[in-house]
Structure 1
Amino acid sequence: MPDTYDAVVVGGGPAGATASALLAKRGRRVLLLEKEKFPRYHIGESLIPGVMPIVQELGAGQALADLGATPKRGVTLVWGATPEPWTVRFDELYAGVIEPGEFDPPAYQVKRAEFDNMLLMHSRRLGTTVIEEAQARKAVFSNGRCTGLLYSASRDDELVEVRAPLVLDASGQAKFMARNRDTVIWHEDLKNLAVWTYFQGGGRLEGNDAGNILVEAVPPGWLWMIPFSDGTCSVGFVAPSAVFAASELTPERFLHRQLEETGFMKKLLQDATQVAQVRTAKDWSYSSTEMSGPGFLQVGDAAAFVDPLFSTGCMLAMKGGSLAAEAADRILADPGSEEQVRAVYEKEYHAVLDVVLAFVRIFYDQTQKAEEYFDQAQGLVDPDMFHKARQDFIALISGLAKAVDGWQIG
């Protein structure tokens, strides 16, 4: 007979680990299936302050601090019509958005293998049954409702059936449910490719800005530099996929050519040594037209992924995981509420994604000055101008603006 749980979660990344942990904290019997063995490599290493409330909700603050990650107190940009580097700091938000010292440090630069493993092990400690190297193969439906799934464990091809009133798809860019239901839409104007590697040594920004992510525009794209506490840094370049396709350069040579064209990052890396192979990822900006269905919810990258310009990936995944856990718990407590709860879930999810996506598109216009970006951020998240435009910009890119922080099942 198949095992039965309150919920089955597909995927052990930040979305799945968060959703499963919070359901387990509520006393639900949860099974999580992860296709890889943790710790495993992943990109997306620059956290933003919007992650921290979820870390606190999980009770994982000390576990995060124990990783020895690099404190991140702001963002430094060489961007737009402003010729010199400009920096915004998260402590400028102290105006009714967050309280002084509420998050100290406000964010971190993390090795995702360590961070994701910490979240998954935390979920296990809270009571989630975690099976690694277990591949979800097929969702099981009965009368149009998802009632469980089939999976294979390790390298065994034998399928195991598990049943649950709810399946949470947190399978990341594998998009377990959306791919099979053909509900994925790509954002054509954001079909980009990223190429990145790691350097050791070199310089850093000064003072409290030493842990900042550095983002520098280098047409036809932009570069990032993320410093880590072990003396290494992640360095990558993002540009339209068509640009790479038209070039005769290898991804590695393309990255180094763009670094040579920088006016600021090149100086910081002049004494650094490349210490890892080059990696690439492409065409990642998409969303699902439907993020749920009878008996299942999609969350994190399995639901949508926005361009990495503002490092929102982990924040959206973990906030989505928190929202999914709340929605699932309500449905389990009152099955008759499912249709209404799922409608609210999708509305909240899409509303947040729409704001983030709209500002990414605004910010890709590099003809504007910093103050113009501030004003447009204010128009999106604070049209009544309760705060200064600069603070609204910081709140938006930190994931703490009300428009992207208020996810809840009403």
Structure 2
Amino acid sequence: MTVSHGCYDVVVIGAGPAGAVASSLLADLGYRVLVLEKEHFPRFSIGESLLPQSMAFLEQAGMLQAVVEAGFQHKNGAAFTRADDYDCFDFREKFSDGWGTTFQVQRDRFDKVLADCASAHGVEICYGQTVVAVTTMADAVQIDVVSEDGSAYQVGAAFILDGSGFGRVLPRLLQLEKASTLAPRVSLFTHIKDNITDAGFDRNKILITVHPEHPAVWYWLIPFSNGRASVGVVLPRELHAGSECTECELLQQFIAEGGMLQRVLENAEFDTPVGIIDGYSCDVESLYGERFALLGNAGEFLDPVFSSGVTIALKSASLAAEVVHQQLQGLEPDWQKEYAVPLMQGVDTFRAFVEGWYDGRLQDVIFADGKSEQIKEMISSILAGYAWDTGNPYVRDPRRLTTLAELCRK
């Protein structure tokens, strides 16, 4: 195979959290790793509320200290409100062992912190590079790349990981995409100067608000450490399509109907354009194949309601790095058994809770009076990202959520 831009052990598409952690873990094992990133960092991204489980993966990759020192907003739980109902989950009071706190982060800064850590670990990161084709050969993968200046070149690698997130480079190039089982929804979002003075609002928790009349419509409010916040609304596609308002007007219109959220944001300054993602849920035919694997959102993205995206991305990076290591050592790892199955165990737990959120079961549990502390700790563990802890009955069998909802309704 002829290449004009060098040959690597591993090429990673995307320098986001999944790509940064996977590449850093592999570089620490002595491999020559190249990351090809289409954008330049820092760059805007949503998915700003981390889960405590993610801290273990950042620690594993040697990135935790840099994240702690970056000065992000402390996070210890999640609060939920619907009309006059309110309840919160403190992630320090959970069923599973492990971290009980984390951070709420501006992703432009957070992602750059992780990418810079990967560089410090010996990873070569090239920004402004677009992967346009991938060809698998007997002993290597050929990657065709176009630089931002229009020049084209090829890179060779023994293995390729796709951490391109919503860019979903390999699923598009290799025809791996398939429709999600989740209903299509639209997300409108922006950053604001929040000016929050409400004494009842806890900046250490993400606030999830359910629309008082439309339970399928919900909002997030993620406060940052600098007096700003991320705010967004998720709604069925038909509600968005039927509106004649601008995106900013529609977002503010829904916030005005949000009960506690409206009161908390009564002094907010909407000083940033509103973004939109339409039909964000996605799936693939396979998470791996001949000399490639998909990380995080490049494989499957569920829904933003439980902020699971970064945690799943980091879990996939941790799992994939170990299996790639085995493969590059000449072993024959079982990618289905050692990567896809363990990764999907947690994804399927989150999926069951996402489905339970939209069909009302989980909302009925969250807002129920008189929940036992043990049950609340089990739910808190999953909300904190411990969706792989099979000691938790609701991870081992997420169908238990249906029985729990029926009990709460009674």
TM-score bracket, shorter-length normalisation: 0.7 to 0.9
Contact 1:371-1:390 at 8 Å conserved across structures: no
Counterpart for residue 24 of structure 1? 27
Contact 1:215-1:225 at 8 Å conserved across structures: yes
Counterpart for residue 377 of structure 2? 391
Question: 42, 58, 66: which is aligned to 1:39?
Answer: 42
**Deviations 1:198-226, CA, capped at 9 Å, x for gaps:** 22143266589322111101125111111
Q: How much does 1:395 deviate?
A: 0.6
Question: 306, 313, 321: which is aligned to 1:325?
Answer: 321
Letter in 2 for 1:256: Q
**RMSD across aligned C-alpha pairs, in angstroms?**
2.6
Contact 1:78-1:86 at 8 Å conserved across structures: yes
Using the alignment, how far apart are the partners of 2:247 and 2:71 within structure 1?
32
Letter in 1 for 2:31: R
The answer to whether residue 132 in structure 2 is matched with residue 137 in structure 1 is: yes
Question: 243, 248, 272: which is aligned to 2:244?
Answer: 248
Using the alignment, how far apart are the partners of 2:343 and 2:186 within structure 1?
25
Question: 382, 386, 403: which is aligned to 1:400?
Answer: 386
Counterpart for residue 120 of structure 1? 115
Pairing 1:100-249 to 2, within 5 Å after superposition: 102=99, 106-142=101-137, 147-158=141-152, 160-203=153-196, 206=199, 209-218=202-211, 219=214, 220-249=216-245
User: What secondary structure, in the 3-state scheme, does the structure 2 residue paired with 1:199 have?
Assistant: strand
**Deviations 1:342-375, CA, capped at 9 Å, x for gaps:** 543122222221111111000123366654789x
**Deviations 1:281-303, CA, capped at 9 Å, x for gaps:** 11111121201111111111111
Contact 2:281-2:302 at 8 Å conserved across structures: yes
**Deviations 1:65-108, CA, capped at 9 Å, x for gaps:** 121100011111014xx842111101112x5x226xx55xx111
Question: 2, 10, 21: which is aligned to 2:13?
Answer: 10
Counterpart for residue 93 of structure 2? 92
**Deviations 1:121-177, CA, capped at 9 Å, x for gaps:** 10010011111111111102225x76231112232232x111111111111112111
**Deviations 1:307-351, CA, capped at 9 Å, x for gaps:** 00000111111111111111111111124x14x235431222222
Letter in 2 for 1:92: E
Change (3 A) 1:342 1:405: farther
The answer to whether residue 354 in structure 2 is matched with residue 355 in structure 1 is: no
Using the alignment, how far apart are the partners of 2:78 and 2:378 within structure 1?
14
Change (3 A) 1:146 1:356: farther
Using the alignment, how far apart are the partners of 1:208 and 1:233 within structure 2?
13
Query: What runs of 5+ residues in structure 2 fail to find an aligned partner?
Result: 393-410
Using the alignment, how far apart are the partners of 2:390 and 2:11 within structure 1?
27
Letter in 1 for 2:238: A
User: What secondary structure, in the 3-state scheme, does the structure 2 residue paired with 1:202 have?
Assistant: coil
Change (3 A) 1:139 1:403: same
Using the alignment, how far apart are the partners of 1:153 and 1:48 within structure 2?
35
User: What secondary structure, in the 3-state scheme, does the structure 1 residue paired with 2:231 have?
Assistant: strand
Using the alignment, how far apart are the partners of 1:121 and 1:276 within structure 2?
27
Query: What runs of 5+ residues in structure 1 fail to find an aligned partner?
Result: 379-384
Letter in 2 for 1:30: V
Percent of pairs identical after alignment?
29
Using the alignment, how far apart are the partners of 2:342 and 2:382 within structure 1?
16
**Deviations 1:218-265, CA, capped at 9 Å, x for gaps:** 125111111111111111110111221122222211111111112101
Q: How much does 1:269 deviate?
A: 0.9
Q: How much does 1:179 deviate?
A: 1.5
Contact 2:346-2:388 at 8 Å conserved across structures: no
